[in-house]
Amino acid sequence: MEFGSTAKNVHSLPALADDLEAHIQDLKDRLKSIGQGSVADFVCAELAAMRVAIVKLQEQQTLVLAQSHAANLLIQDYGRSPSCGVLAKSVCIEADQLFKPTDGFHSLEHVEGGLPYRWTGPGKTFRFAVFVDRATSLGFELVLLGTFTEDTLKSIQCHVCGVPVDVQIEHLGVHPVVTGVLPAVNAPVRTLLEFSVEKTISPASISSDNTDERKLGVMFHRLTVQENGPDSERERRFFSFGRIGGSEK
């Protein structure tokens, strides 16, 4: 009697792989359906199917481990060699790009002139994951289109990969800008910038005519990260007004 291929044997197994009782009952039922003299053949077929499955799993595990090892080697090399050419020297993230729900932003909106922005909230923290070469220090600039109160703006703090960094708050034109420096490190692949305000405010709590009950922080427009250098001040102002359309005085 033939007991079918390995594929057929696997296909007939119970749906729950870790349900031992279901597997025992399945084997009992199948043994009852065959003749007494065929038990040994049945057991051999089952054991052979298990061996094939184990060998395939071992091969897949070896492949996964090899790929993981190769990926770790690449991660360790990112940013250490100037010839790798993987990580950018500058990054620009704008409000009309996609964000995860956990990043701390509300839905995309636009001011009358068409500039995109997102209110931060409902929590006090909003964050960006950037991939830049930090072999040297980098400057960052957070461009905002406004906030409810000056106190909210003054309360902004920043953490880089969990470490607090000093920030400065300026007004270039009519737009608040938060600036700071990412210190040079051994070039991690992912840098997490987290900003926070002291509290978020509901417009409805300020004015009885306003029905917006969202918890809002600041109006985020753009984040840029770039190299510091002799021309960093000029470049920073260019980034600030390149799209907003203001001018230096």
pTM recorded for the entire structure: 0.59
Instruction: Looking at the structure, tell me whether residues 212 and 105 fall in a common domain.
Output: yes
Torsion of Cα atoms, 128 then 131 then 136 then 140, to 10°: -30
pLDDT of residue 45: 77
Kindly tell me the burial class for residue 115, based on how many C-beta atoms sit within 10 Å of its own C-beta (0-12, 13-18, 19 or more).
buried
Q: Could you read off the pLDDT of 2-15 as tens digits, one per residue?
A: 443 333 344 445 44
Instruction: Looking at the structure, tell me whether residues 66 and 156 fall in a common domain.
Output: no
The domain in which residue 59 lies consists of 6-77
Instruction: Looking at the structure, tell me whether residues 119 and 21 fall in a common domain.
Output: no
Instruction: Looking at the structure, tell me whether residues 67 and 160 fall in a common domain.
Output: no
Q: Is residue 81's pLDDT more than 70?
A: no
Mean pLDDT on 196-208 = 90
pLDDT of residue 37: 61
**Backbone phi and psi for residue 101, each to the nearest 5 degrees, phi listed first:** -60, -25
Instruction: Looking at the structure, tell me whether residues 148 and 72 fall in a common domain.
Output: no
- Kindly state the percentage of the chain with pLDDT values over 70: 70
Mean pLDDT on 159-176 = 89
- pLDDT tier at 71, thresholds 50, 70, 90: low
Q: Could you read off the pLDDT of 82-135 as tens digits, one per residue?
A: 444 567 888 999 999 989 889 999 999 999 888 899 999 999 999 999 888 888
DSSP string, 13-49: S-S-TT-HHHHHHHHHHHHHTS-GGGHHHHHHHHHHH
Q: Which of 24-38, 72-86, 101-115, 131-145 has the lowest mean pLDDT?
A: 72-86
Q: What distance lies between CA 219 and its chain's CA centroid?
A: 21
pLDDT of residue 221: 96
**Backbone phi and psi for residue 178, each to the nearest 5 degrees, phi listed first:** -105, 125
Output the CA torsion sign for 156, 222, 166, 87: positive
Out of 46, 77, 108, pick the residue that ends a domain: 77
Q: What is the rounded CA–CA span in Å between residue 104 and residue 171?
A: 24
Q: Could you read off the pLDDT of 44-56 as tens digits, one per residue?
A: 777 777 777 777 7
Q: Which of 22-31, 107-116, 140-149, 156-165 has the lowest mean pLDDT?
A: 22-31
Q: Is residue 202's pLDDT more than 60?
A: yes
Q: What are residue 82's DSSP bridge partners?
A: none
Q: What is the rounded CA–CA span in Å between residue 167 and residue 179?
A: 5
The CATH number that applies at residue 111 is 2.60.120
Q: What angle (nearest 5°) sits at the alpha carbon of residue 237, between those of residues 236 and 240?
A: 90
Q: How far is CA 191 from CA 30, 117, 120, 137, 167, in A?
A: 57, 23, 20, 13, 17
- pLDDT tier at 41, thresholds 50, 70, 90: confident
* Residues 181, 138 contacting (CB under 8 angstroms): yes
- Domain membership of residue 82 (yes or no) is no
Query: The tokens 């709590």 sit on which residue?
Result: 205
Q: What is the rounded CA–CA span in Å between residue 29 and residue 34?
A: 9
pLDDT of residue 109: 93
Domains of the chain: total: 2
